[in-house]
Amino acid sequence: MSRSADTWILTAQCPSRLGTVDVVTRFLKESRCYITEQHSFDDRLAERFFIRTEFRPQDHDLDAEAFRSAFASRAAEYGMVFELSAPGARIPVVIMVSKADHCLNDLLYRYRTGQLPIEIRAVVSNHPDLEPLAAWHGLPYHHFPITPETKPEQEAQVSRVIEETGAELVILARYMQVLSSAMCAKLAGRAINIHHSLLPGFKGAKPYHQAYEKGVKLVGATAHYINDDLDEGPIITQAVEPVSHADYPEDLVAKGRDIECLALARAVTLHVERRVFLHARRTVIFER
C-alpha cells in the first residue's frame, strides 16, 4: 500500500522516558491533526525510544515552521530530536554505477512510473557504458574514470556533482569501487549500497559461480548504508531466493540480479519514506 499523498511525517527519537508517545500524540490532537499511521519502538538495552507518525491536518493547511517551533518546546523536555517531512516531498538523488545495468535500469523504471518518490538529478559512473540508458531517461551522465593514482581527484569530482545537484541521497547501484574513508564519512547516513549476500558468503570474482560450486540453496542480496568497513554498514533490508541443484551458474546470476534490484528498491523506499532510524551500527525500521 502506497503512502497517502496528503500526509505529513513526523519522526523522532530520544532517551526512554515515561510519556514519549503521549508528547507526540497529544500535540497532534491539540493541533487538529489526525494520525493515519504510527509505529514506535523502545530499545530497552540502549534505553532509546523511536517513533514515526503519519498524520493529516483536519481543517487547515499546516504551517511547517510554526509546527516545528511549537513542537520543539515540547520535545526539548524529553531530549527529543525530530524531523518533519511534507507531503509529496521528492528527495533529490544521485545514482552511482559501473558497468552492470540491472539495478540502474530497475530504479529508472520505478522512478519513471512514479513508484519511487525521488528526483534523480544525475548518474555518475567510472565507465561510459550506461550513458545511453541515462540519456534515454533524459538524465545527466557524468563519466569519471578512476585509477588508484587518480582516486582522490575522481572522488572530488563526484563530490562536486553531489553538492551541485543538492542530492540528499546517493545510491550505489552496483558501483564497483571502494569509497575512501573520507568519502564514506562525508556520505554517512545518506548513501545506500547493494551487494550480493550469499549463504555462505563468497567474495572476489564470480561469486555466483563460487556458490554454484559449493551447491548453495539460497542466493540473496543486502542493501545497507555505507561506512568505512567494506560491505558491513548498517543493514536496511535483505532478501533471499531459493535455488537448487538444477540451477546452473547463469541461473544463479539471473536470480541474483533480480533479488538485488528488489532489495535495493525496497531500501530506497524505506529511506525516502523516513522509515529508517540509524541506531549505532544497527537500524530501526518501521515497515508499512
Lowest mean pLDDT among 24-38, 88-102, 139-153, 231-245: 231-245
Residue 106 in this model has a pLDDT that exceeds 90: yes
Per-residue pLDDT reduced to its tens digit, 236-247: 999 999 999 999
Residue 64 in this model has a pLDDT that exceeds 80: yes
91-285: CATH topology:
Rossmann fold (3.40.50)
Residue 215 in this model has a pLDDT that exceeds 60: yes
Residue 146 in this model has a pLDDT that exceeds 80: yes
Mean pLDDT of 30-46: 96
**Candidate list 42, 101, 129, 231, residue with the active-site label:** 231
Lowest mean pLDDT among 21-25, 175-179, 197-201, 214-218: 197-201
Mean pLDDT of 30-49: 96
Mean pLDDT of 184-202: 87
Residue 230 in this model has a pLDDT that exceeds 80: no
* pLDDT (0 to 100) of residue 4: 66
* pLDDT (0 to 100) of residue 59: 84
Residue 2 in this model has a pLDDT that exceeds 60: no
* pLDDT (0 to 100) of residue 200: 67
Domain with CATH 3.40.50.170 in the chain: 91-285
Q: Does domain 8-85 have CATH number 3.40.50.1400?
A: no
Give 203's pLDDT tier (boundaries 50, 70, 90): confident
Domain with CATH 3.30.70.260 in the chain: 8-85
Residue 1 in this model has a pLDDT that exceeds 70: no
Lowest mean pLDDT among 15-24, 172-181, 196-205, 213-222: 196-205
Among this protein's residues, is 231 annotated catalytic?
yes
What is the per-residue DSSP string for the chain?
-PPPTT-EEEEEEEE--TTHHHHHHHHHHHTTEEEEEEEEEEETTTTEEEEEEEEEESSS---HHHHHHHHHHHHHTTT-EEEEE-TT--EEEEEEE-S--HHHHHHHHHHHTT-S-EEEEEEEESSSTTHHHHHHTT--EEE----TTTHHHHHHHHHHHHHHHT-SEEEESS--SPPPHHHHHHTTTSEEEEEE--SS---SS-HHHHHHHHT-SEEEEEEEE--SSTT-SPEEEEEEEE--TT--HHHHHHHHHHHHHHHHHHHHHHHHTT-EEEETTEEEE---
Give 112's pLDDT tier (boundaries 50, 70, 90): very high
Q: What is the mean pLDDT of the chain?
A: 93
Mean pLDDT of 121-132: 98
Residue 199 in this model has a pLDDT that exceeds 70: no
Instruction: Decide which of 229 and 86 is more confident.
Output: 86
* pLDDT (0 to 100) of residue 149: 93
